[in-house]
Chains A and B, each alone.
Chain A
Amino acid sequence: MSAFNELLATHGVSRRDFLKYCSTIGAMLALPSTMIPKIAEAIEQDNRPPVIWLEFQDCAGDSEGLLRASRPGVAELVLDHISLDYHETIMAAAGHQAEASKNATVEKYKGQYICIVEGSIPTGAQGAYCTIGGHSAEDILKKVGGDAAVVIAVGSCSAFGGLPAAYPNPTGAKAVRDLLPNKTVINLPGCPMNVDNLTGTIVHYLTFGSAPAMDRFNRPKFAYGKRIHDNCERRSHFDAGQYVENWGDYGHQQGWCLYKMGCKGPETFHNCPTLRWNEGLSWPVMAGHGCAGCSEPGFWDTMMPMYRRLPNVPGFGVEASALNIGTAIVGASAAIFATHGAVTVARNWKNVASAKADLREEIKEHSDDVE
């Protein structure tokens, strides 16, 4: 029995379940079924690259997501099986021991290991906002990420800066891609990322040795290639014009579209409606709440207010919506030109009077002529 089959046995997973899982992943990555054996082979092989998981300005939500990966036990196993050599939150070692193990992996597997980054990187105050083992987050990222085969930025903070980078960005937080411009960085944004997309990306990497096809924001197309709005199960209510107007109203009870409640599905690219969360159980819109747009660049600065469709305009003191500003523009235009018109009429009053007098004269002469 191969080492991997033993591992399957100890996890109580049958070979059949494992192959089923491989075909699920293959379908998710939009690969033909002939690729399934190759996927299985890639997962089984013994020279899998080790993984270093770095955490910076984060909430550990993506780590939580990783730990909750529980799709029939296999996903967990795949993640176990890629040797997670360093993960501050879940590794047994601590302090110098942990640092030593990280450094050993970086040295031994230079250019071969996978670096996963969670959290944004503060660049303000010479990196003082986040130091680990005496090194700034930026230095650690450049060292560990710079020597990795591939860098995966999990969660919106590492992919786009996320909440720490939201205005006014006190720590000068940056995304991984900003600091490693020459590296292949795969962004898996989301708050948190969906762990099934992470396993999909890793399996793709193990199978093909390269990153999956990505969009302009370096997000894998298999996971971020479609808008939530275009795959949403409430979409027919959108087109039909059936909207939730208030929480708990008739439409809400009927599962109508959440557009008017500020749903950001029309602006958000993610596979939540098809993949869903927690073992495919549900996702926000299914649960009756609009999409918050968490996986888009600039989330928070552009997707808030949560329950309004369009952003408020900053810098106007009181928060001003586009509708208020627009109404003010049209109102000001109307007021200016109405005033102008009134003044013009007043100024020309005399002319009108004399024009009328001329006309009276003219009519008189005209009728004289005709007579």
Chain B
Amino acid sequence: MASTVDTPASRPEKQYECAARRFLYIWEGPLRIIHWVNFFSIIILSVTGYFIHDPFMSSAQHPYIMGNVRYVHYLFGIIFSVNLLFRIYGFLVGNYFASWRGIPNPFNAKDRKNFWAFIRFYTFTGKETPHLLGHNPVAFCAYTLLFALFILQMLSGFALWAQNDPGSSLYAVTGWIFGLVSNQWVRWFHFLVMFLIGGFVINHIYSVVLFDFKSKSGEVSSIFSGWKPDRRD
């Protein structure tokens, strides 16, 4: 038999209807690359950063271990930072969903309604959330905070680095930080932000999976493929 493939179209009499009207290419290639570079940099920076905080491994099996770990931390610090700058560039020029144009507008009644629908969903006081193509508006707020932390982490990281040569041009760029906060607190902050990011990661993965279930709109796969369904609600 020729048509054993069971698609809704092949059986219109059963009134099957795909929930997706069509698929849209929401997250473009560069954005997805930036996301995954960020993912790997943060893991590597956290592991090496924790080691710098508390060098728990003995040198007997790993000669020059601290030197190497610091090298990797600085290298990925640069990769992370360049990647962050690319993302900020994308925020200016990227497509609707990746850029400032997709920001939920607090003066727009519909955006406000969406926001509260998600808040109610998270707090178990409401069951329905509208189907959105871009960021969930509550998550968008979390991302804003997160990127503020990234920028501070980048600044504090380079400021700590520049201390090895106060005559350097890097120090000329970052030295002002030590006029505001002592270098011990900069270090402390750089260490603490690692945990703040860790706390976010738990939230992030949980929420993405939750909405993948809830809205059946391929939240998880969209960051690999870029495609999301334009669903009928």
Interface residues of A (CB under 8 A from B): 215-216, 221, 225-227, 230, 238-243, 259-260, 264, 266-267, 269, 293, 296-298, 302-303, 309-311, 322-323, 325-327, 329-330, 332-334, 337, 340-341, 343-344, 347-348, 366, 369-370
Contact = CB atoms under 8 A, between A and B. Distances in A.
Q: Which 4 A-B pairs have CB atoms at the shortest separation, nearest pair first?
A: A326-B195, A241-B59, A333-B199, A239-B67
B67 A302 contact: no
Contacts of A296: 182-184
A311 B64 contact: no
Contacts of B11: 369
A239 B185 CA distance: 23
Interface in B111-134: 122, 124
Given A225-B167, A267-B183, A330 B55 contact: no
A260 B55 contact: yes
Contacts of A366: 6
Secondary structure dominating the interface of A:
helix
A311 B66 contact: no
A346 to B, nearest CB: 10
A243 B194 CA distance: 24
> Contact residue range for chain B?
35 or more
Contacts of B57: 241
Nearest to A264: B184
B166 A239 contact: no
10 contacts: A215-B166, A216-B179, A260-B55, A296-B184, A298-B182, A302-B184, A303-B184, A334-B202, A341-B206, A348-B213
Contacts of B53: 309-310, 323
B166 A269 contact: yes
B68 to A, nearest CB: 9
B69 to A, nearest CB: 8
Nearest to A239: B67
A348 B184 CA distance: 48
Given A242-B59, A323-B53, 16 more contacts: A225-B167, A227-B163, A239-B64, A241-B65, A260-B54, A264-B184, A267-B163, A302-B184, A310-B53, A325-B192, A326-B192, A333-B198, A337-B202, A340-B206, A340-B210, A369-B11
Interface of B: 4, 6, 11, 53-55, 57-59, 62-67, 70, 122, 124, 163-164, 166-167, 175, 178-179, 182-185, 187-188, 191-192, 194-196, 198-200, 202-203, 206, 210, 213
Contacts of B183: 267, 296
Contacts of B210: 340-341, 344
A329 B195 CA distance: 7
Contacts of A333: 198-200, 202-203
Contacts of B54: 260
Contacts of A370: 4
A329 B187 contact: no
Given A227-B164, A260-B55, A302-B184, A343 B124 contact: yes
A329 B199 contact: yes
Contacts, number: 110
B185 to A, nearest CB: 6
B168 to A, nearest CB: 11
B199 A322 contact: no
A31 to B, nearest CB: 17
A329 B70 CA distance: 26
Contacts of A369: 6, 11
A311 to B, nearest CB: 5
Contacts of A298: 182, 184
A311 B184 contact: yes
Contacts of B185: 302, 311
Contacts of A215: 166
Nearest to A304: B184
A180 B232 CA distance: 71
Contact of A241 (B55, B163, B166, B175): B55
A269 B162 CA distance: 13
A130 to B, nearest CB: 26
Contacts of B4: 370
Contact of A322 (B182, B191, B206): B191
A68 B178 CA distance: 33
Contacts of B167: 221, 225
Contacts of B124: 343, 347
A239 B124 CA distance: 52
A153 B196 CA distance: 41
A330 B198 CA distance: 6
B90 to A, nearest CB: 27
Contacts of B122: 340
B145 to A, nearest CB: 13
